Structure 1
Amino acid sequence: MRYLFIVCFLFSFALTGQEKVLLKVNDEEVSTEEFIRVYEKNLSLIKEVEHNSPKQYLDLFIDYKLKVQEAYKQGLDKKQAYQKEIASYRLQLAKNYLNDVQVTDDLVKEAYFRSKNELRARHILIRLRPDALPKDTLVAYNKLIAARDRIIKGEDFNKIARIYSEDPSAKQNGGDLGWFKAFKMVYPFENAAYSTPIQEVSMPFRTNFGYHIVQPTATRISQGTVQVAHIMVSLNQKDSTVSPAAKIIKVKELLDSGADFETLALNYSDDKNTAKKGGVINAFEKGQLSSDVFEKTAFNLKSIGEISEPFKTKFGWHILKLVKKNPLQAFEEIEASLTQKVTRDARARVLSEALYEKLRKKYNVTEEVAIVEYFTSVLPEVYNREEQLFTDKSALTRTAFTIGDETFLYSDIAKVIDNKLKRKNYTSRSYFVENEVANFINDALKTYHLAHLEEENPGFRSLINEYKEGLLLFDLLESQIWKKAQKDSVGLRAFYNANAQNYKTPKVYNTRVFTTKQKEIATTYRKRLLKGEKSEIIIEALKVKYKSPLIVSNREIVEENLPFSGDNNLGVKNVITEGDNYILYEVLSIDEAKLNTLAESRGAVMSDYQKYLETNFVKELRKNSEINVNTTILNNLEKRYDE
């Protein structure tokens, strides 16, 4: 396994100057802070063994440092496989540093609130492409303002939705969306709906579909999910003489007389997909199905196994049986899954925007307006692929913005825009320029931030360093110890010969164990065994005579764990007590102790041989190294952890 020493947390010490350095291993100085981080992390692993104080653990830590230094000396960090794995790990770990923790927490709590509090709303949509021209955007906006004004003045929302809305379903439902909660709508729409008071009409807002206005009409607490089994009789029967209503009544009568629901579902239900499963359908929440009466009936069932009266939907006649109800879980129970959804949902854009805004302030990127103005002036309103762009070379050499020690020129942005235009033209020049400039700056900020995480984040730096060293340690031991041991058959044989007594099979007693709650039964059993009667015959006789349970089992017992004393030969032993039980052991046979051959104990011998080689390897490293410990700091640590 890989030897990973992961940082846990810092332990504060008021140390200054030379006191910060706890020890020096060759040319490497180790701070007290670093030692404490590793010691604190591993304390839970070592507290049950002897190396549990700072002084005792220091030897393990020094051995660790010596092995890592040796790995660097051997150039193991230059191996392509090592560098590739570090790069992969770093990229994966860095993702955790791309979100603002506070913003993430707020979004997760918001999502839980909206999962718990369902909303019903209606809307009007004017469709619009994300890159629509400003004049088209204004037309869409003004249409919604006009619709909103009419609603506010008292006209019916349903009527106005049928007149204005470009959502095809509005002609039938008047813009009514039914009930929904978090993650059911695109996030900008969800946000607007939950931010608008009940019965009020929002101002126009934009999503990828276009402009909307929304009116929340009601709110309710989520009832979680319900799972039911159903028997359905279709309204369209193959046999025209069969009445669906009469058929469902017959099914209900059979249920009332005690017939099995699952059997009736299999024989009578026209929903063949669920009939073979006893009628059971997947759990659902309110608003998920296309039938309000089906949902209402299912949620009104109270106790598991309760069966509904027959009811009719557009699909047919139904009878439901309650299988399970799952109320919304507590926040703590679903926080992790909500966090995953938030970081993968459209809310992830909010997280990204929060990060970019934070990085803009951190690195003082303030030239965005000027950059947008320049490229808007250079690009034509209608782009012609034959037209030469960016002919003013002197303008392109100007600095667009800087991040830390990196400078980005107008030419860098021009190159990206030029490549994008070779693949796709734009509809709206202003939208295209603003989007491309923002994306360029955001990408530059993220790239710089990721590249300098070690410098700016001590926690990230420590984790990466620990992983690097752990990986080097693994590679060193694999090449210098583990693989060598596997190939060194002569050395392995010599090690086995010198330590053969450690690989001995113990003496084992094969016993029959008789257990009972009554002493009389145990003594009777023993007496009859001693007379030579067979165990099986005695036990059958005892079972007939006594009502008390008898337990007979065979057990292998290592000599050092024998529960009886005295005569350790074959035969019947004395009755002994263990708790409330009376137990009689009969030794049937004995396997004498013997030395295992190398082949029989190869796994254990190999493991011990590798440890032996590693111990000698470290001794050699210590012999050729200079190690200096600040005993004053070490003694202070010893006192602090001894308190």
Structure 2
Amino acid sequence: MNLAMVNTSKFLILGSLLFLLTPKLSLGQSNANQIIVGEVGNADVTFSELQENYTQGMNSDVPLEELQSFLPIYLDYKAKLLAAKDQGYYDDSTLVVEHNNYVKQAAYAWWLEKEIKPSAFETFKERSEVELKPYHVLIALDENATEQQINDAIAKLEMARTEIQQGVPLKEVDQKYSTKRGGRSMGGDIPWISAGRTVQPFEDTLYGMDVGEVSKPFRTQFGYHIAVLQDKRERKPARLTSHIYVRGTGDSTSYDKIHEAYDMLERGRLWSEVVPNYSEDGASVRNNGRIGWVSYQSNFAMDFVDAVMQQDPDQAFSEPVQTNYGYHIFKIDSVESYATEAEKDKALMSRLQDTPYYQENNQFVIDYLVDNYGTESNSSFLNQYEAWLLGKDSTALADLSFPADLTDAVVFSFSGNKYNLNDFHSYLQDRFGDRLAINYRENWFENFKRFEADKNLINLTLDRYPQFEDQSENYLNGLVVYNINEDYVWSAATVDTSRLRSIYQNNLDNYRYKERPFYYLVTARHDSTLKEAISFVNEGGELDSLSSKIANLGVSSDSTSGYSEPPFDRLQGMDENSFSEIFEYNNRKAVFWLEDILPARNMTFEEAFNRLLSEFQPQREQEWLEELRETYNVKVYPEKLKEAYQRSSR
């Protein structure tokens, strides 16, 4: 989260605390908060306002000395805001665009932090307590499937659903209806799953079902499914597992080897000794047999996971076990557990952020808002429009006049705004005007909903979270203060160059170049390339033509007065018109050519300009602040600040 959002969160926390604590404030504290400690532009600045802006909403004790230092800075800041307003900075089109862009990005982040993450976490935490055993039938369709293809898939799945409910074996139904790829069904049995292990539409469907129930057809990114919830149980905690592994060979060799390893352990040999001598899993051998956390949510074969989960974690090691991988001796190093609920929540949050439940991107936010704050209506009108559109066949969308009888049909509502079919038609013409009507796709309406939701994001955020306006206003104020500072203090374009020239002329001795070397720095990936360059120059070639004559060579020229820092210390003591030894520089090979020793001389005004500007900046800023203080009648009341502080501390 950015700093502005952090500060806003602090403000919200403080506001809640103040609301709770206000009835308990002593009369002295209340009076202290209202004491006027300064004035700007005929507006009073109270002790409470000063404290709040210093702490950025955090309810913390602040030493008097810090508030005394902050008071004039804060009053100057408010004077800058008044100056920016008077000079039209708040209406500057560039700043308005930059502010709007920031506010929109901040709104995305706000929804993620305030609503989406907490909501997703509660769902994820609840679902993480259980594991589900699903079976599914899948008819694969891509996102551009036609309405006829979709209807055909749904009709087939309804028949499959009826057969399952009538007792036809699941495998038989799957083979009959599921799409085949490479001769294998895309449906079928699915290993135990828990939260975050499959795409969200599939998971949402399963977690809304009872054991034995058959779902209605539903869509995921893979196509249309029906699912059967075969079983449900409490989630089994993951196990940190090590093993000794021997590949299956089809004869007694592997069997004999794993039992020999087991015998060695039984006789008291250390696990760390047996692993390297017997295990054939090279990756885990390097880690004393450790293969990591194993659970029904990991990517191991199901019979392997079953074998691990059946082991007694209190035993030093298991008897030999056979899985599809081969033979194993397991050692359970740890069983997943948490000392506190907070520790568990932290682990779950980390896991959540690696799942489709929660993604930190703008599209994810908009999809959430469409699902939770948007409303579809009059689907029959949308179907009529789609049928009308597809009937226009090879006509470009840009050339289609909207049918008058559908003009007022509202098909989507969001944040108090209603959108009719004519709005949708205009959107299609703007976005897909060159497409043919026959190319219409169902997902275009989803894109339209996202488009309108995104347009209304800021208004919805302000309606839902009025405090978001504070963050927006704070950023705008910071933006205009930065720009007015740039113009009056830092910008070279607005400086009085005559004053700089006067400073330069009155202090010429302060703006001098010392005697310094003028050099070429030549770099390449390989010594051989540099040696070729050195030979070229030594044979009379020009330094300035090096890069055009020799490939993969970098050549730059400059002068420096700093001999002490590497690599420039190599220039010290070099002869003019000579090369240095080859050295390493920025992961490349490099060499210096010393062209000349430039004599000491005074800088020109142009050469000294940036240094003059930097040195003049504090005086320039002070003069501007004095002008602001006079213009906006800035008054500082340090004694009243001290009085307010003492009262608030009682």
Instruction: Give the TM-score normalised by the residue count of structure 1.
Output: 0.61
Letter of the structure 2 residue corresponding to residue 625 of structure 1: Y
Is 1:119 the counterpart of 2:132? The answer is yes
Match of residue 622 from structure 1 = 629
Which of 206, 224, 227 is the aligned partner of 1:214? 227
Matches within 5 A, 1:267-278: 267-278=277-288
Aligned-partner Cα distance in 2 for 1:436–1:205: 19
Give yes or no for contact 2:196–2:357 (8 Å, CA) kept in 1. Answer: no
Aligned-partner Cα distance in 2 for 1:298–1:195: 30
1:439, CA displacement in angstroms? 3.1
Which of 185, 190, 200 is the aligned partner of 2:198? 185
Match of residue 355 from structure 1 = 369
Unaligned runs of at least 5 residues, structure 1: 492-608
| Matched residues, number | 510
SS, match of residue 288 in structure 1: coil
Aligned-partner Cα distance in 2 for 1:404–1:173: 40
Which of 197, 203, 206 is the aligned partner of 2:210? 197
Letter of the structure 1 residue corresponding to residue 428 of structure 2: I
Classify 1:75/1:348 alpha carbon distance in 2 versus 1 (closer, same or farther; 3 Å): closer
Which of 458, 461, 475 is the aligned partner of 1:467? 475
Match of residue 264 from structure 1 = 274
Letter of the structure 2 residue corresponding to residue 319 of structure 1: I
1:350, CA displacement in angstroms? 9.1
1:391, CA displacement in angstroms? 4.2
Which of 432, 450, 458 is the aligned partner of 1:450? 458
Letter of the structure 1 residue corresponding to residue 248 of structure 2: L
Aligned-partner Cα distance in 1 for 2:141–2:106: 39
Match of residue 48 from structure 1 = 63
Letter of the structure 1 residue corresponding to residue 328 of structure 2: H
1:183, CA displacement in angstroms? 1.7
Which of 413, 417, 420 is the aligned partner of 2:428? 417
Aligned-partner Cα distance in 1 for 2:299–2:192: 11
Letter of the structure 2 residue corresponding to residue 622 of structure 1: R
Matches within 5 A, 1:471-486: 471=479, 473=481
Give yes or no for contact 1:122–1:177 (8 Å, CA) kept in 2. Answer: yes
Classify 1:360/1:221 alpha carbon distance in 2 versus 1 (closer, same or farther; 3 Å): closer
Aligned-partner Cα distance in 2 for 1:126–1:346: 31
Classify 1:350/1:458 alpha carbon distance in 2 versus 1 (closer, same or farther; 3 Å): closer
Match of residue 251 from structure 1 = 261
CA RMSD of aligned residues (A): 5.6
SS, match of residue 256 in structure 2: helix
1:317, CA displacement in angstroms? 1.6
SS, match of residue 393 in structure 2: coil
Letter of the structure 2 residue corresponding to residue 234 of structure 1: R
SS, match of residue 324 in structure 2: coil
1:39, CA displacement in angstroms? 5.7
Give yes or no for contact 1:6–1:467 (8 Å, CA) kept in 2. Answer: no
Deviation per CA, 1:106-153: give whole Å up to 9, x if none.
Answer: 442122122221111212223344454444434333323333223323
Give yes or no for contact 2:124–2:352 (8 Å, CA) kept in 1. Answer: no
Q: Which deviates the most, 167-176 or 295-304?
A: 167-176
1:159, CA displacement in angstroms? 3.0
1:158, CA displacement in angstroms? 3.0
Match of residue 511 from structure 2 = none
1:311, CA displacement in angstroms? 1.6
1:327, CA displacement in angstroms? 3.5
Aligned-partner Cα distance in 2 for 1:371–1:80: 41
Classify 1:272/1:343 alpha carbon distance in 2 versus 1 (closer, same or farther; 3 Å): closer
Matches within 5 A, 1:464-613: 464-471=472-479, 473=481
Matches within 5 A, 1:8-87: 8-9=11-12, 10=15, 25-26=40-41, 38=53, 41=56, 44=59, 47-50=62-65, 61-70=74-83, 86=99
Letter of the structure 2 residue corresponding to residue 383 of structure 1: D
Aligned-partner Cα distance in 1 for 2:247–2:368: 53
Deviation per CA, 1:436-474: give whole Å up to 9, x if none.
Answer: 345335413421332785688542221122233345556
SS, match of residue 474 in structure 2: helix
Identity %: 21
Match of residue 439 from structure 1 = 447
Which of 293, 296, 303 is the aligned partner of 1:283? 293
Is 1:316 the counterpart of 2:339? The answer is no
Give yes or no for contact 2:238–2:336 (8 Å, CA) kept in 1. Answer: yes
Give yes or no for contact 2:369–2:453 (8 Å, CA) kept in 1. Answer: no
Match of residue 509 from structure 1 = none
Deviation per CA, 1:66-107: give whole Å up to 9, x if none.
Answer: 244456678887999977865554343110345695575444
SS, match of residue 178 in structure 1: coil
Classify 1:444/1:217 alpha carbon distance in 2 versus 1 (closer, same or farther; 3 Å): closer
Q: Which deviates the most, 30-39 or 314-323?
A: 30-39
Letter of the structure 2 residue corresponding to residue 111 of structure 1: F
Aligned-partner Cα distance in 2 for 1:443–1:206: 22
Give yes or no for contact 1:162–1:170 (8 Å, CA) kept in 2. Answer: no
Give yes or no for contact 1:158–1:173 (8 Å, CA) kept in 2. Answer: no
Q: Which deviates the most, 287-296 or 385-394?
A: 385-394
1:243, CA displacement in angstroms? 1.3
Which of 246, 249, 252 is the aligned partner of 1:236? 249
Aligned-partner Cα distance in 1 for 2:418–2:632: 45
Letter of the structure 1 residue corresponding to residue 318 of structure 2: S
Aligned-partner Cα distance in 2 for 1:236–1:370: 63
Match of residue 606 from structure 1 = none
Letter of the structure 1 residue corresponding to residue 189 of structure 2: D
Is 1:143 the counterpart of 2:156? The answer is yes
Classify 1:611/1:408 alpha carbon distance in 2 versus 1 (closer, same or farther; 3 Å): same
1:177, CA displacement in angstroms? 0.8
Aligned-partner Cα distance in 2 for 1:215–1:169: 24
1:323, CA displacement in angstroms? 3.2
1:154, CA displacement in angstroms? 3.0
Letter of the structure 1 residue corresponding to residue 335 of structure 2: K
SS, match of residue 452 in structure 2: helix
Deviation per CA, 1:334-390: give whole Å up to 9, x if none.
Answer: 4644664465469998964663377658xxxx9976974774365233621579832
Match of residue 515 from structure 2 = none
Look at both structures and tell me which one has the larger radius of gyration over its CA atoms: 1
Unaligned runs of at least 5 residues, structure 2: 24-29, 493-499, 505-615
Give yes or no for contact 1:128–1:209 (8 Å, CA) kept in 2. Answer: yes
1:394, CA displacement in angstroms? 8.7
Match of residue 299 from structure 1 = 309
Classify 1:611/1:322 alpha carbon distance in 2 versus 1 (closer, same or farther; 3 Å): farther
Give yes or no for contact 1:308–1:321 (8 Å, CA) kept in 2. Answer: yes
Aligned-partner Cα distance in 2 for 1:251–1:192: 47
Classify 1:70/1:194 alpha carbon distance in 2 versus 1 (closer, same or farther; 3 Å): same
Is 1:223 the counterpart of 2:223? The answer is no
Letter of the structure 2 residue corresponding to residue 25 of structure 1: V
Give yes or no for contact 1:115–1:181 (8 Å, CA) kept in 2. Answer: yes
Aligned-partner Cα distance in 2 for 1:387–1:30: 60
SS, match of residue 191 in structure 2: strand
